[in-house]
Structure formats: C-alpha cells, structure tokens
Chains A and B, each alone.
Chain A
C-alpha cells in the first residue's frame, strides 16, 4: 500500500518535472541552447499568481492566466534581448548569458518581493480523496496536477504534429538552414517556442507552489535543475522523452524518499541518471546521431 502511495506522489511531482522539462527540451531542440534561466521563469510565474491572488484578491483562474501571460511575455523578451544577438555563436557564450539572466531574475525577484519566504496558498479547492480505508491519501493538488499535465502533454503533442507552427518548429529543430530556405521564419518560430516554454513554466510554477507552498526567489532553481536532468534523462530535444523522463524522475525520487532514504535521495536520483547516460549516452528516447567523417 505504501508503495502505491509513493507511486501516486511520484507521478504528481513527476508531472510537474515533465512540464518544466518540456520547456527545456523544446528550447534545446530548436535553439540548441541550455536555457538555465528556465527555472527562474517558474519562480516568476509563482510570484505573479501569488500577488494576483493575495493583493488583488482575484480568483485562482485569473491568477493562473495572469502568470501565463506575464511569463510568456518575459520568455519572449529574454529571448529577443539576451539570446537572439548571440545566435550562431559559441554555445558556451549563450549558456553564460542564460546564467546571467537567471541571476538577474532571482535578484530582481529578491528586490521586488524580498528575501523572506512567502506561504503560497494553493489554487486547488478540491477535497482530498481517501482510498482503501484511508490507507492512501490523494490530495486535490495531486489530482489537479496529474490532470493538468496530461492535458498539457496531449495539447502539445497535437500542436507539434498537426499545426503549421508546430510543424515549422520541428523543421527548425531538424535543420535550421533548410527550414529557412523553405520559407519558415526562423526568428518567429524560435520566439513561439520560448513563449510556449515560458507559459508551461508558469503553469508548473503554480502547480509546484500549490503542492509545496514555500515561495522564495530561489524556489525555481532546484526544480529547474531536476527538470533539466529529466529532459536529459529522456533524451534532450525529444518531447515524449521529456515527459517520460520527468515522470520517471519524480517516481524514482519519491520511491527513494519512501523506501531508501530521504537524505540521500539527491545522490540516488543523480546516480540513476548517470547510469542511464552511461548505458544509453543520448538518453532514453534520444536520437543517436551518426558521426560522419
């Protein structure tokens, strides 16, 4: 029974990782850069929704929408100001700039909202569900998280496979120059990718803080790194890979915490990642690229 409980909790936290990992993986696939500031966009989303709910006394739905809008704009702005000028240069240069953006967001949040931790009030009003005579507890947050991420994943899969923009995104990630020659506006496509990734980050921020209500300027960095790990775990650049990686990572983490040791869960999760990468160097669903001489 206990194992089932861990599995459910793992599925919930894993879905959040998966949503964040989608942002990482899409941006990596299309712009070939590690967007280290992605985790901090999550934090911004959480703060915006918090402010709308607490200071403006708006219902949670409005708060979520506001967070999505602000994060989308923020994501596009970051891309246009900090990453676009560096496109085509060394990937390390872009990585360092992304780190700079990450520092900037964290410190801006600290200036605006202070260092002190804020207690986030959950956006979920659903009652908890007890199964098997109360042996298993499923909170409203868990249910909402799992449903939301399932919807997000289905929508995103449909978007990338059916719509024109989605197809353009896949084309750009496959071969940027060829896509441009076919008349695809590469700049616009990359901007759309950042917009979607950031909108997903906003949703993830709301879900994350509803599940664990401690909100501070560094809230996003650890889940960000975890989700990045999940994206690599599933094969970076692959959308189904990010989903699978995120959920697996969450489940492994919760099982470790429950069955082995809470203190060593970090070491075990990262250990599993290393073993997977050593056995399958491009991640679970990553493409093997043949090297031509």
Chain B
C-alpha cells in the first residue's frame, strides 16, 4: 500500500514500475543510444569501411525482424515469405525513385516518397496473400507463404522496366519488349536486377524508420487490438467464442507487417546501385526468421538486438576468413540448443547457481575482511 502511494507521487518511478512501460521505454532507449553511439563513432572516423556499409542493412534487418515478429511472435503465424514483401518494396521503391528524379529533385523527399509507395504496394500484396492464406494453419501456412515469396521473386526476376520521356515502360522476359525511345534508360533488367539506381538511402532515414516501426508495433501490441491478436495466438477457439473476429485481426497484423517490410525493402533497394531478385529468395526470409526466434518470440527489443548482432557477426568474424560462415552455423545451433534444450538449460542453471553461490561467498568473505 505504502509502495503504491509512493509510486504515484513519483512519475519516473511509476513509469519504471509498470512492466509494459518499462519494456517500451528501454526499447526506445537502447535504439536511440545505439544510434547516437554509431553517429559519434562515424563522425570520429572510427568505423571501418565495411562497418559503415553495414549501417543501413542493419536498420533494414531490424525493421524486417520487428515486422516479422509481429506475425510470428505476436500473431503466432509462421511466415516464410517475408523477403517477398521486402522485394516488392525494393523494386517499387527503385522504380519510383527513378521515375520521380525529375519531379522531386530533393533526395530525402524522394526517398520518403519511394518508401511510402513501396509500403503501399507491399500492403496490397499482403492483402492479396493474407486473405486466402491466413485460413490455413501451422506448417501449411508456412509453405504457402514460402510459395508466395518465391512467386514474387520469380516474377521480379523476369520483369523489365524502362523509363524514357514518355514515362515508364513495363515488359516481361526481354528488354526489347519495352519499346523505349533512344533516350530511355533501364531501371530493372530481369535477372540483372535494378540498374542505374542512385543510392539515396541514409543511416538517419533508417533510424527514423526503426523509430516509426517501434512506435507502430509497440502501440499495437499494447493496445486492445494487440491483446485480441495475442488471445487468438494463445487460443483461437476461445478468442472466437468471446467475439473476436479472428480473420480481421490476423489480417491486420499481417498487412501492417507487410507494409513495414515493404518500406524497409525500399530503403534497402535505394541503399545500393544494384539489387537482384536473388536477394529476396526464401534464404533471406529464413535469415529474418532466425533473428526473430533468437531474439525471442514476441520480444521486440530481442529482435532489434538479434538482428544487429547477427548482421554484424559475419563481419566481425572476418579474421576467421573461410571459416566464418561455418562458425556462424555452429554458433546458431549451439545457441538454439542451449536456450531451448530442457537438459542443457538445467545444466546451465546448475552452473550459474553454483557460480552465484561461490561469488556470494567471495563477496561475503571480503565484507568480513574489510570489517575485520
């Protein structure tokens, strides 16, 4: 009772005593502090060229991991086609940016516009895919989302887009099908991916996109709708029987996730001069899923940290040369075994328990020592 009155009087303490607010606050804090540190390091010239090249991809993967966590962790649907939405965003973003080059000379404004359009197209794809697919369950849902991702990749792999003074031209399978004038230039060249792209993405926009993503997802999760979505995950039938519209909530989570993935994809597509559709195959979807599972299902801060570390890990392990990818695989397996296996978990608890006891004894002795 006394504690309660105390917490009401002190706003900071009341913020800290509410678990939801505490997680939300620490999530934002970690992201902002990390951004400031990276900016400082960068301006001091302490980042290697390779590290600087990883800054935007890290932002992209963080957004992808958070948005996939919304589907897999919060909504409880295993999706293996997340990279498909990223691909839609990347290609739509690249085409938009090129098409608007004359109209909007300001790079930042053009980038924002391209990202929004990438998000809208990904949302449309999310709706088209979500309405039929979310009726399926479990592993069947996983395989159908994987199939959709592969279809998107396959179509993008054969799509040619060109731009001349008359506007955009689209064709499948060959460049000749575009019928462009001589002044025209290619934007997408089938298997060669995007071409002639001016990279306009910046670390700052990536950071802002993360903040927007956090704002949307955290608010959704902590709202009434978020609780409905979690209720569906935990027991679909019970949720349905208390009047929750299962399809509409699942679809909402799925489409929001697609929008965020599309925006991240647009940022990714505009961060380098060439992106091919191979990037958006199921391997990338699986990589994002690894971030989500390792970070903790439904744990947003976990996704942020896992995406950052796992994106940097191959870079940090560069001294291992040829062995780095195999080390990555081993680290992944070992971490999964130690975090999930009941036996190993028990063993770790015994070890840490002993360690704590031992440390406790040690500090006790010290105290005794100083007293004496």
A100 touching B332 in the complex, CB below 8 Å, given contacts A267-B151, A282-B140: yes
Cβ contact within 8 Å between A100 and B336: yes
Cβ contact within 8 Å between A267 and B328: no
Return the CB mask of B130-152 against A: 1 if under 8 Å, else 0.
Answer: 00110111011011101110110
B35 to chain A, nearest CB (A): 28
A117 to chain B, nearest CB (A): 16
Does A62 interact with chain B (Cβ within 8 Å)?
no
Within A248-293, the residues touching B (CB, 8 Å) are 261, 263-264, 266-267, 270-271, 273-274, 277-278, 281-283, 291, 293
Binds B, one of A47-55, A66-74, A82-90, A155-163: A82-90
Does B342 interact with chain A (Cβ within 8 Å)?
yes
Return the CB mask of A23-38 against B: 1 if under 8 Å, else 0.
Answer: 0000010000010100
Q: How far is the CA of A98 from the CA of B343 in the complex (A)?
A: 19
Q: Is the interface of B mostly helix, strand, loop or mixed?
A: helix
Does B155 interact with chain A (Cβ within 8 Å)?
yes
Cβ contact within 8 Å between A97 and B329: no
A101 touching B333 in the complex, CB below 8 Å, given contacts A111-B323, A267-B154, A270-B151: yes
Cβ contact within 8 Å between A229 and B336: no
- Kindly identify which residue among A34, A263, A266 contacts B151, using a CB–CB cutoff of 8 Å: A266
Binds A, one of B89-97, B211-219, B259-267, B287-295: B287-295
A104 touching B151 in the complex, CB below 8 Å, given contacts A96-B290, A96-B293, A225-B282: no
Cβ contact within 8 Å between B78 and A92: yes
List chain B residues, Cβ under 8 A from A88.
342
Cβ contact within 8 Å between B328 and A96: no
Within B334-372, the residues touching A (CB, 8 Å) are 336-337, 339-344
- Kindly identify which residue among B137, B142, B328 contacts A103, using a CB–CB cutoff of 8 Å: B328
B243 to chain A, nearest CB (A): 16
Interface residues on B, range: 35 or more
Cβ contact within 8 Å between A93 and B143: no
A89 touching B150 in the complex, CB below 8 Å, given contacts A97-B337, A277-B140, A278-B132: no
Within A208-241, the residues touching B (CB, 8 Å) are 221, 225, 228-229, 232, 236
List chain A residues, Cβ under 8 A from B139.
28, 34, 232, 236
A100 touching B143 in the complex, CB below 8 Å, given contacts A266-B151, A270-B151, A281-B136: no
Does A121 interact with chain B (Cβ within 8 Å)?
no
Return the CB mask of B273-317 against A: 1 if under 8 Å, else 0.
Answer: 000000000110010011001100100000000000000000000
Q: How far is the CA of A110 from the CA of B321 in the complex (A)?
A: 13
Q: How far is the CA of A135 from the CA of B336 in the complex (A)?
A: 55
Return the CB mask of A11-43 against B: 1 if under 8 Å, else 0.
Answer: 000000000000000001000001010000000
Does A107 interact with chain B (Cβ within 8 Å)?
yes
Cβ contact within 8 Å between B144 and A93: no
Interface residues on chain A, number (Cβ under 8 Å): 45
Q: How far is the CA of A273 from the CA of B147 in the complex (A)?
A: 8
A277 touching B143 in the complex, CB below 8 Å, given contacts A96-B290, A263-B173: yes
B368 to chain A, nearest CB (A): 42
The 10 tightest CB contacts between A and B, nearest first, are A103-B329, A104-B329, A270-B147, A100-B332, A85-B341, A100-B333, A107-B326, A266-B154, A93-B340, A267-B154
> Interface of A with B (CB < 8 Å)?
28, 34, 36, 82, 85-86, 88-90, 92-93, 95-97, 99-101, 103-104, 107-108, 110-111, 221, 225, 228-229, 232, 236, 261, 263-264, 266-267, 270-271, 273-274, 277-278, 281-283, 291, 293
> Interface of B with A (CB < 8 Å)?
72, 78, 132-133, 135-137, 139-140, 142-144, 146-148, 150-151, 153-155, 157-158, 173, 237, 282-283, 286, 289-290, 293-294, 297, 322-323, 325-326, 328-330, 332-333, 336-337, 339-344
| Extra inter-chain contacts (17) besides given A100-B329, A263-B158, CB under 8 Å | A85-B344, A88-B342, A92-B293, A93-B339, A93-B340, A96-B290, A99-B290, A101-B329, A232-B143, A264-B155, A267-B154, A274-B144, A274-B148, A277-B136, A277-B144, A278-B136, A281-B137
16 CB-based A-B contacts, threshold 8 Å: A88-B342, A93-B336, A96-B289, A96-B332, A96-B336, A97-B333, A100-B332, A100-B333, A103-B326, A104-B329, A263-B154, A270-B147, A271-B147, A278-B132, A278-B136, A281-B136
